[in-house]
Structure 1
Amino acid sequence: MKINLCILGVANVAWVAGDRLQGGKYTIERELGSGRFGITYLVRNRNSDRLVVKTLNDVLLNSLSPSERGRLKTMFLREALKLQRCKHKHIVQVTDSFEEADRLCLVMEYVDGVSLADRRQQKLSEQEALQYIQQIGEALIVVHENRLIHRDVHPGNIFLPVRDGQAEAVLIDFGLALDFDHILTTNRSKETSEGFTPPELYAQSIPTGAYSDIYSLAATLYVLLTGKTPVSALKRKIDKARLVAPKDLNNLVSDRTNRAILTGMKLDPKERSQSMREWLDSLGLTGEVPQWVGLWLGL
Structure 2
Amino acid sequence: MGKFGDWNIIKTIGEGGQGQIHLVKNEKGEPSGVFALKKLTNKNRIQRFEKEILAGMKLKHPNIIEVIEYDLENKRPYLVMKYFEEGDMTNLNIVSFSLNEKIEIFRKICEAVAFAHKNKVIHRDIKPENIFMENQFEPIVGDFGLCFFDDEERITNSDEVIGSRYYMAPELADGKFEDMTYSADVYSLGKLFYWIITGKIFDREKHNDNKYKITKNEKTICFLINEVLNKTIIENPENRLQNAFELVNEINNLEKRISMGANSIGPNIPLECIFCGVGKYHKISGSRNGIAGIETSNGFNFSRNKEWTILQCDYCNNIQIFSPLIKDSTNKWEKK
TM-score, normalized by the shorter chain, greater than 0.5: yes
Secondary structure of the structure 1 residue equivalent to 2:122: coil
Which of residues 135, 138, 141 in structure 2 aligns to 1:171? 141
Which of residues 12, 17, 21 in structure 2 aligns to 1:41? 21
Contact in 2 for aligned 1:97/1:107 (Cα 8 Å): yes
CA distance in 1, matches of 2:96, 2:237: 28
Secondary structure of the structure 2 residue equivalent to 1:264: coil
Contact in 1 for aligned 2:95/2:199 (Cα 8 Å): yes
1:217 aligned onto 2:200: no
Q: Deviations over 1:176-235 (max 9, x none)?
A: 467999xxx74334x532321111222222433321111111111111222321x223xx
Tell me: CA distance 1:55–1:258, structure 2 relative to 1, closer, same or farther (3 Å): same
CA distance in 2, matches of 1:242, 1:121: 18
1:293 Cα deviation (Å)?
6.3
Q: Deviations over 1:252-292 (max 9, x none)?
A: 44323211112201011111111111122223359xxx434
Partner residue in 1 for 2:223 = 255
CA distance in 2, matches of 1:123, 1:82: 33
> Highest relative contact order (Cα 8 Å, sep 6+), 1 or 2?
1
Gaps of 5+ in 1: 1-17, 62-68
Partner residue in 1 for 2:101 = 128
Secondary structure of the structure 2 residue equivalent to 1:97: strand
Secondary structure of the structure 1 residue equivalent to 2:124: coil
Tell me: CA distance 1:56–1:270, structure 2 relative to 1, closer, same or farther (3 Å): farther
Which of residues 248, 252, 256 in structure 2 aligns to 1:291? 256
1:51 aligned onto 2:35: yes
CA distance in 1, matches of 2:49, 2:87: 28
Contact in 1 for aligned 2:207/2:213 (Cα 8 Å): no
CA distance in 1, matches of 2:7, 2:42: 23
Which of residues 99, 114, 135 in structure 2 aligns to 1:141? 114
Tell me: CA distance 1:284–1:86, structure 2 relative to 1, closer, same or farther (3 Å): same
Contact in 2 for aligned 1:198/1:215 (Cα 8 Å): yes
Partner residue in 2 for 1:66 = none
More displaced, 105-114 or 132-141? Answer: 105-114
1:205 aligned onto 2:161: no
Contact in 1 for aligned 2:183/2:241 (Cα 8 Å): yes
1:30 Cα deviation (Å)?
1.6
Contact in 1 for aligned 2:124/2:147 (Cα 8 Å): no
CA distance in 2, matches of 1:41, 1:32: 5
1:249 Cα deviation (Å)?
5.0
1:100 Cα deviation (Å)?
4.0
CA distance in 2, matches of 1:59, 1:78: 14
Q: CA RMSD in A?
A: 3.2
TM-score by length of 1: 0.70
Secondary structure of the structure 1 residue equivalent to 2:117: helix
Contact in 2 for aligned 1:79/1:148 (Cα 8 Å): no
Tell me: CA distance 1:186–1:178, structure 2 relative to 1, closer, same or farther (3 Å): farther
Give the aligned length. 248
Secondary structure of the structure 2 residue equivalent to 1:284: helix
Amino acid at match of 2:248: L
Tell me: CA distance 1:99–1:227, structure 2 relative to 1, closer, same or farther (3 Å): closer
Give percent identity, aligned residues only: 23
Amino acid at match of 2:7: K
Secondary structure of the structure 1 residue equivalent to 2:121: coil
More displaced, 104-113 or 207-216? Answer: 104-113
- Map 1:104-115 onto structure 2 (within 5 A): 104-115=77-88
Partner residue in 2 for 1:98 = 71
1:265 aligned onto 2:233: yes
Partner residue in 2 for 1:187 = 159
Partner residue in 2 for 1:278 = 246
CA distance in 2, matches of 1:217, 1:177: 15
Partner residue in 1 for 2:285 = none
- Map 1:54-65 onto structure 2 (within 5 A): 54-58=38-42, 60=44
Tell me: CA distance 1:26–1:249, structure 2 relative to 1, closer, same or farther (3 Å): farther
Contact in 2 for aligned 1:137/1:280 (Cα 8 Å): yes
Tell me: CA distance 1:98–1:170, structure 2 relative to 1, closer, same or farther (3 Å): same
Q: Deviations over 1:69-109 (max 9, x none)?
A: 7xx4xx75466334312111111112223344355433222
Amino acid at match of 1:175: G
Tell me: CA distance 1:123–1:186, structure 2 relative to 1, closer, same or farther (3 Å): farther
Q: State the structure with more CA Rg.
A: 2
Partner residue in 2 for 1:10 = none
